[in-house]
């Protein structure tokens, strides 16, 4: 059986900023008072990027406007973000992790997976090894982490969310009935703010009820996504931890387009997302990389911009895989306002050879073979030689971004 650790920095941006201020001679530890990392510190604009534990008691949440947070807590101390500092701390943490395994996968700037399988002879049983890692990071770098332990990446990540901060928690399959299943379904990985109400409407209130729900009915409601949710609720995941050297210098690949009319219908937005997914996935394959995160950006007709992204336990580069993920994100995030701009971004890139098909994943093998064939034809004979039927007489594939081309006037 595998042993997987999920290491997650507690209040990463806030902790890293607090430690830096103390190193520079500051007397106040931001982690002990209501404080936050927020954009545009000279005004009330910007959003909350991270907050301290005392700030949480005032109802301050990540992502809310800074002005709202100050209304909840006028004495809130706000500091500007320092992404160079965050990158240095992240790199130092992963350097320490590399002492305990050569199988490390960064999942974001402040969290990652470590395959501890076979390392027991060097560092002791999993709980002992996790304690050594946690204490090593705290002693050398000054911040705390949560470490979740299980037999796969999914349960290791869920374990780390059960209790914070500065904890080591196990979540093995036999522990699911006691530790995971009683939790609200909203706390399940991959259950977003729009999926949860649909599950509750089906009578599914807890993760345990999701685990026991007939998978055929979930697939009827959510298609292949329903099968994934059912598997995750039962703790099933076989994705591998990517090697430590698989992260590429290129951080993300994306494409966006301005639309010459207001997009008000979901199906119309889907066509534009497919157009963008073709370009993004083609660039992924062209660079021999795949993505572990997909994001969708939307701009409304009154120029309000918002985005949403999801991390994937396994990486993708197939057009249909990117498209289906983007659709799901769009459904979760769209507030049904008219849109004038859409974009897709693929992030957390790794080498193409890090892709390992999971038993839970859709098998995109045939679709990817078709993608590669179309890529070759387009390179040799031009981009318009192969076009999906979806785009005939309507939207053209948005190969280069900018303003979307259409072959007819929308009525």
As a whole number of angstroms, the distance between CA 325 and CA 320 comes to 8
With beta carbons less than 8 A apart as the criterion, state whether 349 and 251 touch.
Answer: yes
User: Rounded to whole angstroms, how far apart are CA atoms 283 and 335?
Assistant: 29
Residue 58 has a CB neighbour count (10 Å cut-off) of 16
Instruction: Please return the burial class of 85, using the count of CB atoms within 10 Å of its CB with bins 0-12, 13-18 and 19+.
Output: middle
For residue 111, indicate whether it is catalytic. yes
Residue with tokens 């889907």: 270
270: nearest Cα among 391, 103, 102: 391
Residues 149 and 130 sit within 8 Å (Cβ to Cβ): yes
Give, in order, the Cα–Cα distances in Å from 187 to each of 77, 157, 206: 29, 12, 9
Candidates 75, 92, 111, 175; catalytic one: 111
The residues annotated as belonging to the active site are 111
């Amino acid at each position: 059986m595998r042993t997987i650790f999920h290491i997650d920095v507690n209040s990463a941006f806030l902790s890293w900023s607090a430690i830096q201020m103390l190193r520079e001679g500051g007397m106040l530890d931001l982690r002990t008072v209501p404080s936050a990392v927020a954009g545009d510190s000279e005004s009330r604009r910007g959003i909350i990027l991270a907050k301290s534990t005392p700030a949480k008691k005032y109802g301050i949440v990540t992502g809310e406007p800074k002005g709202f947070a100050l209304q909840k807590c006028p004495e809130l101390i706000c500091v500007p973000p320092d992404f160079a500092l965050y990158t240095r701390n992240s790199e130092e943490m992963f350097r320490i992790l590399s002492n305990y395994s050569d199988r490390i996968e960064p999942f974001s700037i402040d969290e990652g997976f470590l395959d501890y399988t076979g390392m027991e002879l060097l560092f002791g049983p999993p709980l002992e090894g996790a304690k050594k890692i946690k204490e090593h990071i705290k002693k050398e770098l000054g911040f705390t982490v949560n470490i979740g332990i299980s037999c796969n990446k999914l349960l290791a990540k869920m374990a780390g969310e059960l209790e914070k901060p500065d904890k080591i928690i196990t979540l093995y399959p036999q522990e699911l009935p006691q530790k995971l299943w009683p939790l609200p379904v909203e706390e399940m990985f991959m259950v977003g703010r729009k999926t949860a109400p649909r599950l509750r409407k089906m009578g599914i209130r807890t993760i345990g009820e999701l685990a026991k729900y007939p998978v055929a009915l979930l697939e009827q409601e959510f298609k292949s996504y329903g099968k994934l949710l059912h598997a995750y609720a039962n703790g099933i995941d076989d994705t591998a931890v990517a090697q430590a050297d698989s992260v590429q210098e290129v951080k993300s690949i994306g494409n966006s387009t301005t639309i010459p009319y207001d997009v008000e219908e979901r199906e119309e937005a889907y066509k534009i997302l497919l157009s963008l997914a073709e370009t993004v996935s083609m660039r992924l394959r062209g660079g021999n990389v795949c993505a572990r995160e997909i994001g969708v950006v939307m701009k409304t007709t009154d120029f309000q911009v918002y985005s949403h992204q999801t991390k994937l336990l396994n990486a993708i580069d197939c057009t249909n895989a990117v498209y289906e993920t983007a659709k799901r994100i769009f459904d979760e995030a769209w507030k049904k306002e008219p849109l004038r701009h859409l974009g897709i971004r693929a992030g957390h890139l790794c080498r193409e050879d890090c892709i390992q098909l999971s038993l839970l994943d859709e098998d995109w093998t045939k679709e990817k073979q078709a993608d590669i064939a179309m890529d070759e034809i387009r390179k040799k004979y031009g981009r318009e030689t192969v076009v999906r039927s979806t785009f005939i007489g309507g939207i053209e594939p948005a190969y280069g971004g900018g303003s979307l081309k259409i072959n007819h006037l929308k009525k």
